[in-house]
Homo-oligomer: A and B are copies of this chain.
């Protein structure tokens, strides 16, 4: 019929589309690799329902603010338990974790005070763990630096100043996580370095790779001994503005007032549930993500989405009535953001003594398009697992390669657990990360679901097939990382 269609050459367009489809999927004709049929079944079920997104939406509605130690974090724990129960997971329980607690408080005021008397507001947020300012705030001249070396070179000129760390994330790296790692010292050590140099506060350019109005928070620390001064993040837009103003008016002052403070440690919990293995129930494949999140936004990418993915992974296996030989367990970890507290608690809990964790896969790199699986320090497993690559390719993943596991699952390494992670598209991650911009609007129901389905599929394969033992040849890597 198409050839009869008049006026527009739509035949051409849609033949082209059909050709595109046919060509792109021509490779499906080859014989199926192991577990490839399973991948397709999981994907069909998963994309049909897209429940990972619904779970994330539900988590955010139940506990939009999940800062460790807060009432919202307790809501999230309750939600996790209830959700696992309603999904029919087995052995659903909480494992207690004592977490550091910190309050952002209610006051965060910041502006540049020009020599003319004019005030220019700065969009700021206290860094996690920061001391507050004195009640009346801090008003001081500013020293802008781009490295600790520059700060050291200032010598006495740093004294009494607000130290403004303004080194941007390097935009030229392909992988923004690399840029994040390179710029991160300003955030986590900035206040300590500022204090040691005689400064009165650290004002730190947000770890974001876009110029925008969102301050990005994140963990910082102080030296064991020595003064403590506030550490405050300023959005990239205002970091640029302040830098420009300083060139025009080097004597300008900045006013900072914040009532954040450290609170006593608080009780909380990891949330655990599983499908118990039919043949080897004590051999465990673990899926992990963290329930806590920074409080500026609902933590949709970091890491509410990861929590939703691992819940959906177990759900989709159950919905397909798959009964793995080994146990597949999901752990919603508490308090990743203050240093992986729940992860260490889980790894060292008494109950672990009678269990063997063969592998753990973490989802904590955002829930954008899944790209592949990373395997930490086990070249033999990387090589061996290439046989599962076609199954992963059926889910759209591109690789299984050497990579990093995750903060939460990291402490399992001492037990010989193979550590893995789901790697996703990193290009937009730092638009949202640790800011008010980390919302549901940044999440695609298809992308988050495909990630969940890949986790389901790979966990099931490992639960059926087992995991090679730790690779002695990779021992030097272990050493190098520590």
**A: which residues have CB within 8 A of B?**
1-2, 4-10, 12-27, 43-44, 47-48, 50, 100, 128-129, 171-178, 180-182, 184-185, 188-189, 192, 209-210, 219-224, 262, 338-341, 369, 371, 374, 376-377, 394-396, 398-399, 401-404, 406-407, 410, 425, 427-428, 431, 444-447, 450, 477, 480-482
Contacts and interface: CB of A to CB of B under 8 A. Distances in A.
Contact of A369 (B180, B377, B427): B427
Nearest to A338: B8
A19 B219 contact: no
Contacts of A23: 374, 376-377, 402-404, 477, 481
A178 B25 contact: yes
15 contacts: A5-B221, A7-B129, A8-B338, A8-B339, A9-B341, A10-B339, A16-B340, A21-B177, A21-B181, A23-B374, A23-B377, A23-B404, A24-B178, A50-B171, A427-B447
Contacts of A26: 402
Contact of A6 (B24, B185, B224, B396): B224
Given A15-B481, A100-B8, A369-B425, A24 B341 contact: no
Nearest to A174: B396
Given A7-B100, A8-B219, A404 B339 contact: no
Nearest to A3: B224
Contacts of A371: 398
Given A10-B188, A189-B1, A171 B404 contact: no
A223 B445 contact: no
A446 B209 contact: yes
Nearest to A209: B446
Given A20-B403, A21-B181, A24-B403, A8 B48 contact: no
A210 B445 contact: yes
A417 B447 CA distance: 35
Contact of A222 (B6, B16, B20): B6
Contact of A13 (B175, B376, B407): B407
A189 B5 contact: yes
A402 B26 CA distance: 9
A427 B407 contact: no
Contacts of A398: 371, 398-399
Contacts of A374: 23-24
A181 B18 contact: yes
Contact of A17 (B21, B184, B192): B184
Contacts of A396: 174
Nearest to A447: B427
B10 A219 contact: yes
